[in-house]
Structure formats: structure tokens, C-alpha cells
Amino acid sequence: MVEVDGSIDSCLLNPPLRIQSTFLIDRDYNRHKRRTPSCMSLIGKTLNNRFYILKSLAHGGFGHTYLAEDRGFQARHHCVVKHLDPAKENLPYLDKIKVLFDREAETLKKLSLYSNLIPKFMDSFEQSGELYFVQEFINGAPLSAELAPGKKLTQIATIELLIQILTPLEYCHQEELIHRDLKPDNIMRRQNGELVLIDFGIAKDMGAASITKHSYGGTPGYAPEEQQYGQPELASDVYAVGKIAIQAITGLSPTQLRRNRDTMAWEWRQHCNVTDGFATVLDRMVELLAAKRYQNASEALAAVQSIPRGGNTLISPPTPPTAQQGGGGGFGFAQPSPQSTGVERSRNPSPPTRQTFSFQTAKLESALFGGSLKISRISGSAEYVTEDIGGVKLEMVYVPAGSFMMGSNEADDEKPIHRVNLSAFYMGKYAITQEQYQAVMGTNPARFKGSNRPVEKVSWDDGMEFCQKLSQRTGNKYSLPSESQWEYACRAETTTPFCYGETISTDLANYDGNRTYGKGLKGKYREQTTSVGDFPPNAFGLYDMHGNVWEWCLDTWHENYNGAPTDGSAWIENDNHSHLLRGGSWDNDPVNCRSSCRNGLARVIRYNYCGFRVVSLPSPRFP
């Protein structure tokens, strides 16, 4: 069984060869929606003997929004009717959806009594098996009309805007209601100048699983990573408000901004005049990881209100950290950040020394008689350096410069085979262990506990944060490996499907031994991770490059190698949220554990078969 963030996910009991489930769910959603009344079918009809539908306003993930006339009183006035429309696959959960619907209706009713900055709740009802609720129609203009492209607000005006947005949002968060789609089009300015939050999504019961992952995606540019993949939280709204503020002060839409490929921070400061204190607040609001943001509107509002209202002082745009290069192009290494918390930079980190260790690797061959496989032992040696990361050792093996043919003809995404030239680098002797992760991050998310087992249930983002904190602690630059670095290190100058030969054995790696590859034989299925170093290393002295855990790489996912770099650098595109994993895992068939096999997952996903190892380039600390 496969555990996803602590819960058993039955849809992944037999994961496909290329695990892309997050995207498949979203991509196929519209094909499976049940037949429902079109947006035109309700126009001209009266609902609940009171609300006469005038026209359609919008169609979102949950259904339609209409402009209606409230005919329940002699003085008729306009209102907004929202029609909830559960998808076909969620009909078995209709009772739970109704509970959430009723709960949100009560919450919105309560909130509208607290503040006139939230539309007044008017009614909720069920008619012909369909769910509806009705709110006040806001007569005004959306904030998007004020944030025209190229128009920049001053810092003082942007602070006032933030306070106006965060004030009503604070009421929502106090009731644990996540808006889920904060953007300028969903913030209306009344004719008296007040800002009102509109178009709330279905409230997610805090701590409960969402009914539909696709339902909380929000709007690209304003929705953070965790929300796009079905895990919204209060901090997701804070992120959206931060992006609105950056839009206001820079005059740029969120889609025009780019993340720094090394720090993953949004690059926006160079486009405006802003004080360092204000910039720090905005940067925290739009942090990549939700845990590093202000956790709710109250925290964000307090931070904004603490900013001095003096004049703007232009600060120089921060110099983007440059990757060290060694004739092979940039590798996108995580840089130490002065804002990082939780890990102190060592004042005088002890320089690691380069040493040599001997080992026995293995070669797998068919025996002459009996059809069995023979494992031959081959002696080898490798150079390595050791970092002390707080009483825990991290061994980094020296991988010499070289050239190899990357890819294979076994799968379309492994084509075309192409030559890659790499400079020398250091790579973790093992995948990062739970002991090492605990020492740097202060936590251990793994399902299969064991200090010397690889850490799993970590996302790509978690791996990047680990590298950043490790870099800060040691003074040396660490990163996830590029995909070509990983395959080069895995192959260790071999051209066979596995570094051990044409096939593999469960005596050499941890994978699902119920399946075979080539002339391989069935073996053990351990159904969990094993301690690092339990199996022979490859010819470079690296352990567990096949099986045990998938290992995150720096690159974003690409369908093939057309246009791939040939200098060993990572292939990164900002618009691609899926990242590479390599090596297969304890739960995979051996075909998934080949040196050339590729996998892609959303960067925020945490599975109990995903881990990582780190790399570093030669430097004065790493001779």
C-alpha cells in the first residue's frame, strides 16, 4: 500500500509506470462531469419562489453564479445566486458536501453580521436536488480596474490597500474559512470606497480531507503551490494577498514575475521603490513553503501595520546568487539566506578533509548452468569528504568529470539518447537519512522509521529547503542533483540498464521482487525501505542508486530530451510545476529502477517512496 501524507490512498495501490496522478485527475475532470443544467437553463426562472434569475455572471469549479432579482419583498433589489454543482465522481459524497455547504452558509451568515466588508448572506436552499445560496450584490467596481498594467501604487498606498483586504479576511480566518480565490476580480470597491471580499469558495473543514482536489485550485498567479494540488490552508490566502500587493506596487501581473532558480524567491524588488522592511513582509507573505509564511490574516495584518508609514527609500535589487561553474554550466545551487530560520550558520565550520575508502561492488551475470544469476564481487575505491552537521556525519563522494550517453530507447521520455559532458562534483554517498534530516530540519516525516533509513515523505520543496539550510550551516553550497548528474553518477561508466549489469536482483537492491526484468529472477518484496548501505555500491562508491526511494532532481519535468542541456546543468522552466525523480523505490518493479528511467511528480507531493540525496561542486572547502 502507498501512503500519501499519512493516509492510505486506494487509487495508488497499483501506481502506473510514470506516476503523474495529480495531473491526470485534473486533466480528465471535465470528461466526467455529470449532465447538469447549462448556465442558460436557469435564466428567466424563479428559484425558491423568490429569486428571479437575470443572467449568468461566472462559471467556476463548483458551478454557476447568477445575477438575480430578489422578489420576496415589495422593494425589489439585485442579489447573487450561487448554484453548487458537484461532479459525478463526488455524488457518493453528496451528504458530506451538503454538510459542508450548510456549514459554510452558517459561517458566511455569521461573518456578514460581523462586517459590511463581506457580502450580506441572504438565503440558502435545496431545489430539485441542487444546492444554492444567495448573497448581497455589491454595486461597485472590481479592484482589477484600479490595478491597470504598468500602473504602480506608492508604498504607502499599497500598505493601505493591504490593510483594507486583510481586515475582512481576518474575520474569515478566525472562523477557519479559507477564501481560496483571492484576486483583484474578487475584491470589489463599493461606491463609498470600502473594499469587499466576494466569491468565496466552499469552506474546507479544517483538518478534514477535501472532497475534490481540483476544487481548490484558485487562479494561476495568485494561488500557491499547495492550493493548486488540493491542500489549501489559511496561509494560502495570505500568499494571494501578497501577490496582489506585489502587483499593485510593481505594476506587473503575477504571471510576469519569475522565481529565482536558486532561492525560489519571487524577483520583484527591482521593479519598484520599496523599503527593506516592507519588502521583507511581502517576501514572507509569498514564500514558496506555506509553513514559512504568516499563517493567517491576523499575523499578516499585524506585520503590515507595524511598517513605518514614512517615505519610500529605494533599495538596490539583490544580486542574484550565481551558481558555481566548472566548465559544465550552472547547476542552480541553493544559496544561504539571511532570512532563513531554524539553522545557525557555523562561525568557523571545520574544513572537511578528502579521504579514500575501499569497497566491493558487484557485477551480475548469468551462470553457465542452471539458468541462475551469478554475482561477482569487484574491489574498488573512491575519494570522499565528510561534513559534520551537528554531531551527524554527511559523506560526499567525489564523482570524476566525464562524458556519457544519456537516455535509452526503452521509453519515449528517455529519448533521444544524447551525449552529456560533465565537470567533477561531489554526491551524497547515500540518500539523506532520517538522522541527517532531523539534524538539519528538526523533524522526521518518514513513515518507515529508522535513523539510518532514507528519509521519505519529503517533497521537492522540502529537499530544496534542506539544501538551503545545510548550505547555511556548513558554508558550502549544496543542491539537489541535476538529472544528468544523477544518471551519470548512477551509471558509473556502465552502459547497461543497471550499474550491476543487464538485470538486477533483490540481493543488490530494494524493489518489488515479485516482478523481474530481462533474465532476472523473482526475489523479495520487503514492502518498506531498508537502511542505507545494505547493498553493494556502484563503481563510483555510491549506494542505493537503484530502488529504496525515488530521488528528487533539480530539473523540471520534460516529456523527452529534445532541447535538453548537454553540459550537466539542470533543465528548469518556471512554468512547469512537476519535477524529476530518479532510481525507483521499494514499491516499484525493476523496470522503474533502471539507470535511465524517469519519473515526474508535482513538487509539493510527499509520498512514502520519495527521498533525495545532495550534490556539491569542488570548492576551497571541498578540494
Nearest to 478 by CA among 295, 294, 613, 285: 613
- Buried b / exposed e along 22-51 (16+ C-beta atoms within 10 A): beebeeebeeeeeeeeebeebeeeebeebb
Please tell me the distance from the alpha carbon of residue 551 to that of residue 463, in angstroms, as a whole number: 10
Give the separation between CA 208 and CA 107, rounded to whole angstroms: 17
- Rg value, the chain, Cα: 27
Residues 136 and 194: their CA atoms lie apart, in Å, by: 15
Give the C-alpha separation, 102 to 132, whole Å: 10
User: How many CB atoms sit inside 10 A of residue 612's CB?
Assistant: 29
Q: 387: helix, coil or strand?
A: strand
The answer to whether 544 touches 509, Cβ cutoff 8 Å, is: yes
| 573 SS3 class | coil
For residue 14, give the 3-state DSSP assignment: coil
Chain CA centroid to CA 142, Å: 30
Does residue 332 come out as left (phi exceeding 0), alpha (psi in the -120 to 50 range) or beta? left
- Closest Cα to residue 548, out of 596, 610, 475? 610
Cα separations in angstroms, 145 against 140, 187, 535:
11, 10, 63
- Please compute, for residue 531, the number of CA atoms within 13 A of its CA located in the half-sphere on the CB side: 6
d(CA 219, CA 130): 25
Please give the single-letter amino acid code of residue 540: F
Q: How far is CA 539 from CA 197, 379, 382, in A?
A: 61, 9, 9
Active-site option among 123, 181, 237, 262: 181
Question: How many distinct helices (H) and strands (E) make up the chain?
Answer: 10, 22
Our answer to whether residue 181 is catalytic in this structure is yes
Alpha helices (H) along 206-275: 225-228, 234-250
Active site residues: 181
